[in-house]
Structure 1
Amino acid sequence: MTETAQTPGKAPPKIPSRIQQRNRSRILDAALEVFSRHGYRGATLDQIASEAGLSKPNILYYFGGKEDIHVTLLSRLMETWLDPLKDMNPNGDPITELLGYVNRKLDMALELPRESRLFANEILQGAPRMGPHLIADLKPLFDARTDVIARWMEQGRIAKSDPAHLIFAIWATTQHYADFAAQTEVLLPDQSRREGGAHDFLSQLFSKLLTP
Structure 2
Amino acid sequence: MNQAIIFDMDGTLFQTNKILEPALEATFDVLRENGLWDDVTPINKYREIMGVPLSVVWETLCPDFSQDDREQSNELFQEKLNEMIRRKKGALYPHVVMTLQSLSTKYFLFVASNGYEEYLQTIVDTYDLHHYFKNIYSIQLIPSGNKSELVKKVVEENDLAKAWVVGDRLSDFKAAKDNALTSIGVNFDFAQLDELKQADIVINDMKELTTLIP
- TM-score under structure 1 normalisation? 0.31
Select the structure with the greater relative contact order (CA < 8 A; seq sep ≥ 6).
2
Higher fraction of strand:
2
